[in-house]
Structure 1
Amino acid sequence: MSTVNTVRKGPVEWIVLDRPDRLNALDEPTRRALLAALLGAEEDPEVRCVVLTGSGRAFCVGQDLAARHELDDAGATVRDTYNPLVTVISTMDTPVVAAVNGLAVGAGMGLALVCDLVIAAEEASFACSFGKVGLVPDTGVSSVLVGALGHARAFDLAVTGRSLRAAEAHGLGLVNAVVPAGDLEQETQARADALAAGPATALALTKRIFRLAAHAPLAEVIAAEADAQGVAARSPEHAEGVAAFTEKRTPRFTTAH
């Protein structure tokens, strides 16, 4: 039985962590299955947006501590099976939306926050709990928290491991929207559909520039903006956008990523 399932809803691919009895904890087979699902979506020209979520009452509680042998060489485990997940989510041209349905803990928090948009159910919560088991943040948590909150607030969350309710995470700018649990799927699908209907080339270029802007000097960022604008202006999507504006209609962007 697969621990990661995919469901296609039009041009949107839902990737579902499906170990509800383990709160979607990540053992190595699950991490590898998740990576395969993400790469499959990235390579499929019909997929214009990806949604990552969990089944049951958790989004993902991070490393499965029952798989203790995986931490015998924790550095290798992170490098070989966690870092590739962060890399593909953050670098794939296709937008990735996290639908956080419940607990997002440790590496699960990292997987959610490294996505391009985060929609959370009111009951969802986030916890940087690595320190509680004598470990350090990984799966992109360090980068996202320090970038969004600064050193002091990020360090506080890391050393205390305290839980952030969805509303607080939203107030801190870590989450884009908080919705009732019963509306999470519908609201996420609406956001994903809007992204899927957008100009794929421009969205992909914007994602690349924003990821670069998080760490690169201004000179490098504005050079990347200029290069990207040259590509975008030559795309059929730009021509369609201008035509739609002139004709006072909604643009119909169909170019695959």
Structure 2
Amino acid sequence: MSDDIVLTSLEDGVLVVTLNRPTAMNALSVALSYELTRTFTRAAQPDVRAVVVTGAGRGFCAGADLRDTRTGDVARESLRATYHPMVLALTALEKPVVAAVNGPAAGAGLALLLAADARIGAPAAKLVPAFATIGLVPDSGVGYLAARVLGEAQALRWLAGGEPLTADQALARGVYEAVIDEPLPAAIDLARRLASAPGRAYGLTKRMLWAEGRRLLAANLDLEVELQQLAVSDPERAAARARAVESMGSKTPEKEKP
């Protein structure tokens, strides 16, 4: 396996972006988040007609890496400087974006699939809203994006309740287009078909449907910072986070490039 934390391949105009931290279930380290932002920004180039996002190994993305060493406050580093640019770069793409959800997705990792135009999941690809269980509110755009995909009432019950969605439940609620054993080939095929629309029809239609959404997403990201600061300062938050880190065990993350 390559040491690169993001793998990319371009074939017939479809850029496959693979999160490559399999031993950490592709958890979002600072380095991974930065590299995804760069990758999604480069994907705006005309040689890329569609994007597919997936994960290496058993998981799609386990969310924020709680073992990452960080300095500064959560608003400046973990949100505004790290996760928000990644989500904004992905939603700015005026071309088909399909998520091949090969395994579980949790926390901030949910933003990567909810921001896609379509999602195809594996039977093991449950969706875990891990925020409430560690005393946080949804961040990285997950709150706004979940409401956009599920509707506000379902999104609130899911995110605040903290109960995972199984792949079949996600399919029934319209999060997944399909649930199949090998989602990546199907996602690539779907991305290729969506990109076959002549001229700029797909991109301009996406711009129209996201015109208000991008403004609301940006406002929601700013609100996240304020609300997450309140959540982090609650005395019960530290104990919840410590329990979560302890439950992860003492595995040493794989070597990564800065």
Normalization by structure 1: what TM-score? Answer: 0.77
Is the partner of 2:165 in helix, strand or coil? strand
Match of 2:23, as an amino acid?
A: D
Match of 1:16, as an amino acid?
A: T
Alignment of 1:32-111 (within 5 A): 32-43=34-45, 45-69=46-70, 72-76=72-76, 77-111=78-112
Tell me the CA shift for residue 31 of structure 1. 0.6
- Stretches of structure 1 that go unaligned for 5 or more consecutive residues are 217-257
Structure 1 moving runs of 4+ over 6 Å: none
Alignment of 1:115-194 (within 5 A): 115-179=116-180, 181-182=181-182, 184-194=183-193
Is the partner of 1:112 in helix, strand or coil? helix
Q: Note closer, same or farther for the CA distance 1:14–1:170 as it changes in structure 2 (3 Å cut).
A: same
What is the CA RMSD across the aligned residues, in angstroms?
1.7
Match of 2:33 in 1: 31
Number of residue pairs matched?
212
Tell me the CA shift for residue 213 of structure 1. 5.4
* 1:212 and 2:211 matched: yes
Match of 1:5 in 2: 7
Distance across 1 between alignment mates of 2:55 and 2:199: 26
Match of 1:18 in 2: 20
Tell me the CA shift for residue 176 of structure 1. 1.9
Tell me the CA shift for residue 52 of structure 1. 0.5
Is the partner of 1:60 in helix, strand or coil? coil
1:41-92 per-residue CA deviation (whole Å, 9 max, x = no partner) reads: 112x11100101000010001100001426x411112111111111111121
Match of 1:198 in 2: 197
Distance across 1 between alignment mates of 2:160 and 2:85: 26
Between the two structures, name the one with larger relative contact order (CA 8 Å, sep ≥ 6): 2
Is the partner of 2:44 in helix, strand or coil? helix
Distance across 1 between alignment mates of 2:69 and 2:133: 16
Match of 2:126, as an amino acid?
A: S
- Stretches of structure 2 that go unaligned for 5 or more consecutive residues are 216-258
Q: Contact 1:6/1:15 (CA < 8 Å) preserved in 2?
A: yes
Distance across 2 between alignment mates of 1:199 and 1:135: 44
Distance across 2 between alignment mates of 1:18 and 1:213: 33
Distance across 2 between alignment mates of 1:133 and 1:79: 20
Distance across 1 between alignment mates of 2:151 and 2:98: 24
Match of 1:155, as an amino acid?
A: L
Q: Contact 2:120/2:176 (CA < 8 Å) preserved in 1?
A: yes
Q: Contact 1:111/1:139 (CA < 8 Å) preserved in 2?
A: no
Distance across 2 between alignment mates of 1:41 and 1:214: 21
Match of 1:124, as an amino acid?
A: A
Tell me the CA shift for residue 172 of structure 1. 1.2
Q: Contact 2:43/2:93 (CA < 8 Å) preserved in 1?
A: no
Distance across 1 between alignment mates of 2:214 and 2:66: 33
Is the partner of 1:164 in helix, strand or coil? coil
Is the partner of 1:163 in helix, strand or coil? coil
Q: Contact 1:97/1:116 (CA < 8 Å) preserved in 2?
A: yes
Tell me the CA shift for residue 144 of structure 1. 2.0
